[in-house]
């Protein structure tokens, strides 16, 4: 990489890391926020849901807008919005102001994430350098998600939950200035009109889908409200697909949605993100309610997952150079699935349980980020620069939906095994049975996804014979994926 490319990458990766931290930093602070601002127990979840709804719902739309008006402009608008909304959240004095701040933070995430990823893919040509950049991006995404809860706990304990928001302000200002100075804009040469009917139906459909999934966590999967919302989402998303078939300038051309690499690459992304977020939730229950660890100790335990994730991202480009993007995606999912599944045998022995979680999350985190990098490479390869915003928007949307989908689904799976409840509380044995069963299902879902992708995703083909250095004195042909 040139010095300028390294500087651009630092700014873009800093932004992606910041948003990953934001996704989990409020987790341990929610009870204190609710107490200080007057949230009821039935409305506290909206602090998280408001963020997830807007982040996932608008991701695809802003990915396409970046293609049309310029990704740098959109990146800077998103960073400014994040900085302002974080300041608002830290100063909030009522539930209404807090929800507004979280909606704006989610909107900023939907703006910056696809534009930032598109700027990465367009700043580096398809091949070894792009793979390396995406590898670092994947590492920092998972490291940020894992470390967010730890950072949130430290700030909340030492200062106040308000610093979980305030910390974004100086970082956001620095990234805005850095982006303005070093990022070179990229925009589609031909700028067709925005597909308004497609934009409305896909955004409304995604909002309805995420709302339906999150309402299932509150109301249960047997709730009429849950299924009615999911039905509305299905109708809207099918309508979007039909509109895209006929639109002169579609928001998401069907040829891209149907491309082998985009379709199966994003399936891998959905599996790895949804099941890893679900695993973090299930292990939190196990560590705190079965082994009796404190929230702070639990957060430290996930530091090993973050370390494994960082190493996975560091070595991902070398592994992809040797095995190809498809092989790396299947390998990453297989490692994540196996390391998750073996935790089915967890018990109440504290020493054994802690050791098992540390080892498996470290190795599984390595596989998880390898899968993230590989699915991003697969899903954005063979796509012209003028449509990279769409491709990266799809990848980023998959990420957000995965984060949102995994926990309510696996929460319901675990709850089915809790047994009799005492005033709504499961026994230690019941929690152990529920979490280990959920962990087993989690691992099997990831392994099943790996099997499907290994069969249906077409193999990577060499784009050129340009060599990528993979070790001292060793060179291998660079491998990329074409749809």
Q: Can you give the pLDDT at residue 475?
A: 38
Cβ neighbours, 10 Å, residue 483: 18
Residues 382 and 282 in one domain: yes
How far apart CA 327 and CA 480 sit, in angstroms, is: 11
CATH of the domain at 11: 1.20.1250.20
Kindly state the DSSP code that residue 194 receives in the 8-state scheme: P
b/e burial code for range 149-170 (CB count within 10 A of at least 16 → b): bbbbbebbeeeebbbbbbbbee
Residues of the chain with pLDDT under 50: 460-483
DSSP string for residues in 72-132: HHHHHHHHHHHHHHHHHHHH--SHHHHHHHHHHHHHHHHHHHHHHHHHHHHHS-TTHHHHH
Distances (CA, A) of 257 to 169, 195, 240, 254, 377: 37, 16, 12, 5, 16
How far apart CA 432 and CA 429 sit, in angstroms, is: 5
**Could you tell me if residue 98 is inside a domain?**
yes
Q: Can you give the pLDDT at residue 483?
A: 35
Q: What domain range is 235 assigned to?
A: 195-248
b/e burial code for range 265-303 (CB count within 10 A of at least 16 → b): bbbbbbbbbbbbbbbbbbbbbbbebbbebebeebbebbb
- What is the phi/psi pair of residue 93, to 5°? -120, 5
Residues 275 and 303 in one domain: yes
Widest Cα–Cα separation across the chain = 66
Residues 142 and 219 in one domain: no
Residues 104 and 92 in one domain: yes
How far apart CA 69 and CA 188 sit, in angstroms, is: 8
Q: Can you give the pLDDT at residue 482?
A: 35
How far apart CA 243 and CA 58 sit, in angstroms, is: 18
Residues 318 and 372 in one domain: yes
Residues 46 and 148 in one domain: yes
Q: Can you give the pLDDT at residue 362?
A: 92
**Could you tell me if residue 107 is inside a domain?**
yes
Residues 24 and 39 in one domain: yes
Residues facing residue 480 across a β-bridge:
461
CB 449, CB 329: distance < 8 Å:
no
How far apart CA 329 and CA 135 sit, in angstroms, is: 12
**Could you tell me if residue 149 is inside a domain?**
yes
Residues 104 and 3 in one domain: yes
Q: Can you give the pLDDT at residue 469?
A: 35
Which residues fall within 8 angstroms of residue 226, CB to CB, at 6 or more apart? 212, 215, 216, 219, 220
Q: Can you give the pLDDT at residue 87?
A: 93
Q: How many residues does the chain have?
A: 483
**Could you tell me if residue 465 is inside a domain?**
no
**Could you tell me if residue 261 is inside a domain?**
yes
**Could you tell me if residue 480 is inside a domain?**
no
Distances (CA, A) of 421 to 284, 293, 414, 425, 442: 19, 22, 13, 5, 24
Strands (E), 189-306: none
Q: Can you give the pLDDT at residue 45?
A: 67
Cβ neighbours, 10 Å, residue 417: 16
Distances (CA, A) of 336 to 141, 449, 460: 16, 11, 22
Q: Can you give the pLDDT at residue 424?
A: 56
Last residue of a domain, one of 135, 168, 186: 186
The domain tally of the chain equals 3
Q: What's the pTM?
A: 0.72
Residues 234 and 353 in one domain: no
**Could you tell me if residue 463 is inside a domain?**
no
Tokens of 107: 């909107």
Residues 330 and 442 in one domain: yes
- What is the phi/psi pair of residue 398, to 5°? -60, -45
**Could you tell me if residue 479 is inside a domain?**
no
Q: Can you give the pLDDT at residue 38?
A: 79
Q: Can you give the pLDDT at residue 80?
A: 93
Cβ neighbours, 10 Å, residue 231: 12
Q: Can you give the pLDDT at residue 473?
A: 38
Residues 57 and 136 in one domain: yes
Residues 2 and 124 in one domain: yes
Tokens 């127990």 correspond to 41
Q: Can you give the pLDDT at residue 447?
A: 95
Which residues fall within 8 angstroms of residue 414, CB to CB, at 6 or more apart? 282, 285, 434, 435, 437, 438
């Amino acid at each position: 990489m040139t010095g300028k490319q390294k500087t651009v990458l630092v700014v873009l990766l800093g932004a992606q890391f910041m948003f990953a931290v934001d996704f989990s930093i409020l987790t341990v602070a929610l009870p204190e926020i609710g107490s200080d601002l007057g949230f009821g127990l039935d409305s506290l979840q909206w602090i998280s849901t408001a963020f997830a709804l807007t982040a996932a719902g608008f991701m695809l739309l802003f990915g396409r807008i970046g293609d049309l008006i310029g990704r740098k402009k959109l990146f800077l608008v998103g960073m400014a919005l994040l900085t302002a909304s974080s300041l608002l959240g830290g100063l909030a004095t009522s539930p209404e102001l807090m929800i507004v701040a979280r909606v704006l933070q989610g909107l900023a995430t939907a703006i910056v994430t696809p534009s930032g990823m598109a700027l990465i893919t367009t700043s580096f040509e398809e091949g070894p350098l792009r793979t390396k950049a995406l590898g670092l991006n994947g590492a920092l995404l998972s490291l940020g998600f894992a470390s967010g809860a730890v950072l949130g706990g430290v700030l909340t304990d030492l200062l106040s939950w308000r610093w979980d928001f305030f910390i974004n302000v100086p970082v956001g200002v620095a990234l805005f200035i850095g982006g303005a100075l070093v990022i070179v804009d990229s925009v589609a040469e031909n700028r067709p009109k925005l597909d308004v009917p497609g934009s409305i139906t896909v955004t409304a459909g995604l909002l309805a889908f995420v709302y339906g999934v999150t309402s299932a966590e509150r109301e249960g999967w047997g709730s009429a409200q849950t299924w009615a919302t999911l039905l509305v989402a299905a109708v809207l998303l099918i309508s979007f697909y039909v509109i895209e078939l006929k639109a002169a300038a579609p928001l998401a051309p069907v040829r891209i949605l149907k491309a082998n690499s985009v379709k199966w690459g994003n399936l891998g992304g959905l599996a790895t993100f949804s099941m890893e977020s679900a695993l973090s939730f299930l292990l939190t229950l196990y560590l705190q309610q079965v082994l009796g660890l404190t929230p702070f100790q639990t957060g430290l335990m996930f530091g090993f997952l973050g370390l494994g994730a960082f190493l996975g991202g560091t070595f991902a480009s070398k592994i992809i150079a040797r095995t190809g993007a498809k092989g790396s995606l299947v390998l990453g999912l297989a490692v994540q699935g196996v390391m998750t599944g073996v935790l089915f045998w967890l018990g109440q022995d504290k020493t054994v349980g802690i050791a098992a979680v540390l080892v498996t999350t470290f190795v599984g985190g390595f596989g998880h980020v390898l899968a993230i990098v590989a699915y991003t490479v697969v899903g954005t390869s063979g796509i012209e620069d003028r449509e990279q915003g769409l491709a990266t928007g799809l990848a980023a949307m998959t990420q957000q939906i995965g984060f949102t989908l995994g926990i309510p689904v696996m929460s319901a799976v675990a709850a089915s095994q809790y047994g009799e409840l005492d005033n709504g509380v499961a026994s230690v044995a019941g929690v152990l049975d529920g979490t280990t069963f959920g962990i087993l299902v989690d691992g099997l879902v990831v392994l099943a996804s790996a099997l499907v992708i290994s069969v249906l995703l077409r193999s990577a083909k060499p784009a050129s014979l340009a060599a990528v250095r993979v070790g001292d004195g060793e060179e291998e042909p660079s491998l990329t994926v074409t749809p």
